[in-house]
Structure 1
């Protein structure tokens, strides 16, 4: 069965957060900035159509909830409340409002009253699924957004609606996601991979292959010190000010006597004769965690990373795609400002 609590924790939470943030950061209107798609609308359409064709209505709902959960993860990771740039905040707000509008269409078959309420919050009528844009540009900039209050309970009638769905699907098989073992870790979300900027770099005194770096990753304690074997590939001048991704929740290691408190991520050619940083876009904020659309959650401890061999399992599936985008199992690695890119390398391993 599908529980009302799950919907409140996922979709209800997302709608409330999105509308509240629009009031706080966009004066209660749809911001006039481009959104950053945080999930694949076409894939969601396809999965829903396939589920309906096989009368697997519960599976359609479960898939829907998975995408909503990932979008909540995007918002948590983007953390506009920590941003100092107003434009960056509004990009996140626009993205979440566009996501909510898309989600309302997929609610119509199951929760028509709730879907209607969401369209009312957005002051935007529904369209048809074929006309629903997959580029997150369905809403008209400047459209007023409902200022939600504690009296605006999104799912007050959803139990009856969902009970009807459950009775229709009493004999349906559970979707694949329901069979997943609880102990399985979402590998990517388990890693604390953050956007950073190298603010200082110098040659390691005892190694001709290592740089020592101080990297701003948004921590209150200040920059972290990391050693990287990049001297054969970058000059000292090229290192300073470089944007990068940093894996933080691994145990510190001594490299040539220098304590390294993390690892920068780079793409490497098969012959290892070309190595490039995978770099966040200009609008990404130091300290924000990168994410993929299909996973969310808090990073695990350094001890769990080691015990579960998280990095060893995950790194085998980190690659650049044909568009130089960093990916994990084909899922594009994103920041609040867009995907992470290598400069030139395609189809190579990231580590």
Structure 2
């Protein structure tokens, strides 16, 4: 009696081992097929790019923008350029406020700008404007004729440093945007304010958990720095 029990047990083990081996083989086959699919997709994308098409659309890059809620804590005139302000903008970083150079002198007084809550594109590569390094980009809405300008304003409850995202595009941003790839430049033409002044990319709202960002007075405008 006992002997046959042992043999059955061994047979059971053999069946288990066989099932495991088959499962491993199936997994390997699936992984190989997936790798083949990815290779084929990459090759097709490369072909499209070579043919002058693109492997994706500008919209695929929306998540790369690191848009943050900020507050202007200091404003001075640029020492070398009458049309520029140099602002210090707090986005809640332990390292302190960012220095931002903006061409807003003809649109608003330093007093208006000071203490304003703003939307900052925080991952631009630092660049010098007339000798002063700008460490981010302050976004505004401009009327089509360029005569009017309004700061983009985040919701009052949104904390400093809160990230602003577009629905469906909330993956982590790039640490620093590569200037050669012109991510912002490709997206900017479709950045606008709706008839109600809400800031958008095409139809996607500049969103926070506390509500959308808006442009105070410029409706149907163009968003740029």
Above 0.5 in TM-score?
yes
Partner of residue 297, structure 1:
171
**Which residue of 130, 147, 152 corresponds with 1:273?**
147
Q: Is the contact between residue 320 and residue 349 of structure 1 (CA under 8 Å) also seen in structure 2?
A: yes
Out of 201, 204, 225, the residue aligned to residue 99 of structure 2 is 225
Cα-to-partner distance string for 1:109-165 (whole Å, 9 max, x where unaligned): xxxxxxxxxxxxxxxxxxxxxxxxxxxxxxxxxxxxxxxxxxxxxxxxxxxxxxxxx
- 1:238 pairs with 109, 112, 130, which one? 112
**1:301 Cα deviation (Å)?**
3.6
Give the ranges of 4+ consecutive aligned residues of structure 1 lying more than 3 Å apart after TM superposition: none
Q: Quick one: which of 283, 302, 306 aligns to 2:179?
A: 306
Taking structure 2 as the reference length, the TM-score comes to 0.72
How far does residue 299 in structure 1 lie from its aligned partner after superposition? Answer: 1.0
Counterpart of 2:5 in structure 1 is none
Q: Which has the higher strand share?
A: 2
Superposition map of 1:92-111 within 5 A: none
**Alignment root-mean-square deviation, CA:** 2.2
For the pair 1:202 / 2:76, whether they are aligned, the reply is: yes
Q: How far did 1:210 drift? A: 0.6
Cα deviation code 1:295-320 (max 9, x no counterpart): 12111143x53232211111111000
* SS of match in other structure, 2:166: coil
Which residues of 2 match residues 86-97 of structure 1 at below 5 A? Answer: none
Number of residue pairs matched? 173
1:285 aligns with 2:168: no
Give the distance between the partners of 2:116 and 2:99, measured in 1 at CA.
15
Q: Report whether the alignment pairs 1:333 with 2:212.
A: no
Q: Measure, in 2, the Cα distance between the counterparts of 1:262 and 1:341.
A: 20
TM-score if structure 1 supplies the norm length? Answer: 0.47
- Quote the offset at 1:273 in angstroms: 1.0
The within-5 A match list for 1:3-22 is none
What residue in structure 1 maps to residue 215 of structure 2? 342
Q: Which runs of 5+ in 1 are unaligned?
A: 1-177
Aligned to 1:317, which of 166, 187, 190? 190
Higher helix share: 1
Structure 1 contact 319–327 (Cα < 8 Å) conserved: yes
Bigger Rg, which one: 2
2-side partners of 1:240 and 1:344: how far apart? Answer: 18
